[in-house]
């Protein structure tokens, strides 16, 4: 089969790409041919189909003083004529058996769905965020969990300036949701794949095409994990690790507060983001000399650093959809201290594969860190359980069997 896989990037860009890369490998291993449709970018992996990709949209480079440029980007983020035109040409030139959508909001846009359905091609869409329900995509407003847009009240995004604290950005985000709800292109999708029970229940509670929602955990190719286990240089260093974007919703700030109560515990922080300088300043001001910021590391280096750690901390303070960092740590037989929010408790089973704490509660987090740090036997036992649990839950063959239920010809 020829499978069109659609995603906003065709290069490593986060958890959505981890899934896209894994599912593409899976399709190809099963004898199918993957055709990508994405956005042009110099970081993209080479593809024979890149001529069909849409032009790059970089919101960070939009000249705020240029009204024309701003309006052009805004219009493309809501309704992309270019994506429709390019996809129409691709579908004319290449026979496609079914389409697998991933992250397309703000760039490729849901307007492509009518182009696909016009040709009676089956469509499945794997959710990686909450955009159809929340204009900000994260259910976060000014650092706090927010569900005020329940029932399609997207104007709440404007009145509370949820998007970047900006009235203009919030208005555009709300308008985008109203347009897509009004056009109802979402109805063209055959199935919506929800990677966690939490996400499934959230979309169901918001009454989003409940008859088309399917809960199916991701698959994962554990080959790199096994390579990391075999190739990681031995180290006597004792430390814990945080891996993720340095943004408020990822909770690194809460972790640093907790580290004030964990003298002697070494922490390595891997990642970059808009909060990086603020976090470094906090660490310096509070003399957290045991905290090391390592920046963005290669995939191999990241896995090796996790492999030599005692355990991983996932301090997220938003409705985490799944969290491949947790998957990778647990597959490396590392327990995880995780905040009890979103899909994290589906992987971090309290006192079995790790420990849970109240999101944002630095004191409780510090207590959990000190508990594990002082109990190597408990760390080993939880790590053993973590490996068993995650390899059963996030399983490639189970994932493919689930996809076959949706697309029987796979």
368's CB contacts (< 8 A; 6+ apart) are 337, 355, 357
Report yes or no on 335 lying in a domain. Answer: yes
3-state helix, strand, coil in the chain (%, to 5): 45, 15, 40
Three-class SS of residue 350?
Answer: strand
Report yes or no on 172 lying in a domain. Answer: no
Report yes or no on 174 lying in a domain. Answer: no
Report yes or no on 175 lying in a domain. Answer: no
| pLDDT tens profile 65-111 | 454 555 566 677 788 899 999 999 999 999 999 999 999 998 999 99
Distances (CA, A) of 270 to 8, 207, 313: 24, 38, 11
pTM of the model: 0.94
Shared domain for 244 and 335, answered yes or no, is: yes
Residue 67: the pLDDT is 47
Shared domain for 114 and 245, answered yes or no, is: no
Shared domain for 69 and 116, answered yes or no, is: yes
Shared domain for 377 and 400, answered yes or no, is: no
Shared domain for 37 and 80, answered yes or no, is: yes
Residue 63: the pLDDT is 47
Shared domain for 110 and 200, answered yes or no, is: yes
Report yes or no on 75 lying in a domain. Answer: yes
Report yes or no on 141 lying in a domain. Answer: no
Distances (CA, A) of 312 to 240, 332, 351, 356: 6, 11, 15, 12
Shared domain for 195 and 260, answered yes or no, is: no
Number of domains in the chain: 2
| pLDDT tens profile 370-390 | 999 999 999 999 999 999 999
Report yes or no on 160 lying in a domain. Answer: no
| pLDDT tens profile 212-258 | 999 999 999 999 999 999 999 988 899 999 999 999 999 999 999 99
Shared domain for 263 and 364, answered yes or no, is: yes
Domain of 22 in residue numbering reads as 2-129+190-219+396-406
Shared domain for 89 and 234, answered yes or no, is: no
Shared domain for 213 and 262, answered yes or no, is: no
Report yes or no on 147 lying in a domain. Answer: no
Shared domain for 10 and 105, answered yes or no, is: yes
Shared domain for 91 and 122, answered yes or no, is: yes
Q: For the domain that residue 32 is a member of, what is the CATH number?
A: 3.40.50.2000
């Amino acid at each position: 089969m020829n499978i069109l896989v659609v995603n906003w990037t065709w290069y490593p860009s986060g958890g959505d790409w981890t899934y896209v890369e894994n599912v593409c490998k899976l399709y190809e291993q099963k004898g199918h041919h993957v055709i990508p449709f994405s956005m042009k970018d110099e970081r993209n992996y080479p593809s024979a189909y890149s001529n069909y990709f849409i032009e790059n949209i970089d919101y960070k480079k939009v000249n705020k003083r240029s009204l024309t440029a701003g309006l052009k980007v805004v219009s493309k983020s809501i309704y992309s004529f270019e994506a429709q035109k390019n996809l129409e040409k691709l579908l004319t030139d290449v026979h496609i058996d079914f389409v697998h959508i991933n992250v397309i909001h703000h760039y490729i846009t849901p307007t492509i769905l009518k182009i696909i359905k016009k040709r009676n091609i089956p469509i499945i869409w794997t959710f990686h965020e909450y955009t159809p329900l929340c204009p900000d995509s994260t259910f976060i407003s000014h650092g706090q969990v927010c569900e005020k847009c329940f029932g399609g009240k997207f104007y709440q995004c404007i009145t509370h300036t949820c998007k970047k604290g900006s009235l203009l950005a919030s208005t555009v985000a709300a308008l985008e949701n109203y347009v897509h709800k009004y056009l109802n292109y979402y109805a063209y999708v055959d199935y919506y794949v929800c990677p966690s029970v939490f996400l499934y229940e959230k979309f169901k509670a918001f009454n989003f095409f409940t008859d088309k929602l399917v809960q199916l955990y991701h698959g994962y190719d554990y080959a790199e994990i096994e390579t990391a286990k075999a190739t990681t240089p031995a180290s006597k260093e004792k430390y814990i690790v945080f891996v993720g974007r340095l943004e408020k919703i990822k909770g690194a700030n809460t972790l640093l507060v907790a580290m004030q109560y964990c003298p002697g515990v070494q922490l390595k922080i891997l990642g970059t983001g808009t909060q990086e300088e603020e976090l470094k300043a906090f660490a310096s001001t509070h003399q957290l000399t045991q905290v090391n910021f390592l920046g963005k590391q290669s995939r191999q280096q990241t896995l090796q650093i996790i492999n030599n750690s005692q355990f991983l901390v996932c301090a997220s303070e938003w409705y985490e959809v799944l969290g491949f960092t947790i998957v990778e740590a647990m597959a490396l037989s590392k327990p995880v201290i995780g905040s009890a929010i979103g899909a994290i408790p589906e992987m971090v089973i309290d006192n079995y594969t790790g420990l849970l704490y109240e999101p944002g509660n630095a004191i409780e987090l510090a207590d959990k860190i000190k508990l594990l740090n002082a109990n190597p036997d408990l760390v080993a036992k939880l790590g053993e359980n973590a490996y068993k649990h995650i390899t059963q839950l996030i399983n490639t063959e189970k994932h493919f069997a689930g996809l076959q239920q949706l697309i029987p010809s796979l």
